[in-house]
Amino acid sequence: MKAGYLFDKKVKKSLKIGKAAARLFNKKGYLETNMDHIAAAAKMSKGGVYHYFSSKDEILHFVLTNYMDLILGELEEELFKIEDDSSKIQFIISRHIDLYTNNLAEAKTLLHEAHCLPGKYYNSISSKQREYYRIVANVLSEFLGGEAKTDKAQVTSLTFLLFGMCNWIYSWYDPKGAISPENLSKMIWTVFLKGVCRGS
């Protein structure tokens, strides 16, 4: 029990530090943020932060790993349960927007600060991003069908177009505004699906 309690405490403290750091990375920028800033934002001593993380790079890697694990977690299993290809696309979009709007600081940090990671950390995040791309691209490929299914350039372009529609809402979208995340998801998949024709 004691070991489990200590593990839970470490996870909670690490997540607290990660959340505080992600907000700072968005507000100040990763390079402009230091461990003193993070400790103050997390309401901990600097030594307390170093007890859980050895460096700022490690915190950034932790933040991005957690976010990518949320995105990838059980995604393929959930898609396997959905038979219709268009419904799979709708599910991907709705799920992406839900995770995005509930983890805005982490999502924005992924978009803007991942390049600051040193090699070994950057490669692990890139690997997770490629896995997400692979899953979404496969769904789009099946949806297109016909010759378009094997048109790699078209599938690649459509996949990144979809990611663009979902990710770049950060510059204007307010989840607490008039358009709910659910309604935004419907708008995105309606525009996307009506613009994609099978066999095109």
Domains of the chain: 2-55 (1.10.10.60), 61-195 (1.10.357.10)
pLDDT higher at 4 or 144: 144
Burial class for 143, CB neighbours closer than 10 Å (0-12, 13-18, 19+): buried
Length of the chain: 200
| Ramachandran quadrant class, 174 (left: phi over 0; alpha: psi -120 to 50; beta: rest) | beta
What would the two tokens of residue 78 be? 């959930």
CB 192 within 8 Å of CB 90: no
pLDDT value at position 5?
45
Average of per-residue pLDDT across 4-13 = 69
* pLDDT above 70 for 86: yes
- Count of CB atoms situated within 10 Å of the CB of 167: 17
% of the chain beyond a pLDDT of 70: 94
pLDDT higher at 122 or 171: 122
Residue 168 to residue 150: CA distance in whole angstroms:
28
Residue 117 backbone phi and psi in degrees, to 5: -70, 140
Tell me which of 40-49, 91-100, 161-170, 187-196 is least confident: 187-196
CA proximity to 155, closest of 184, 134, 128, 182: 134
Residue 32 backbone phi and psi in degrees, to 5: -85, -10
Amino acid at site 180: S
Tell me which of 60-69, 92-101, 166-175 is least confident: 166-175
% of the chain beyond a pLDDT of 90: 80
| Ramachandran quadrant class, 29 (left: phi over 0; alpha: psi -120 to 50; beta: rest) | left
* pLDDT above 60 for 114: yes
pLDDT value at position 200?
45
Which are the contacts of 24, defined by CB distance < 8 A and separation ≥ 6?
33, 37, 38, 41
What would the two tokens of residue 47 be? 């030594």
Q: With b meaning 16 or more CB within 10 Å and e meaning fewer, what string describes 94-111?
A: bbbbebbbebbbbbbbbe
Question: pLDDT tens-digit profile of 12-56?
Answer: 999 999 999 999 999 999 999 999 999 999 999 999 999 999 999
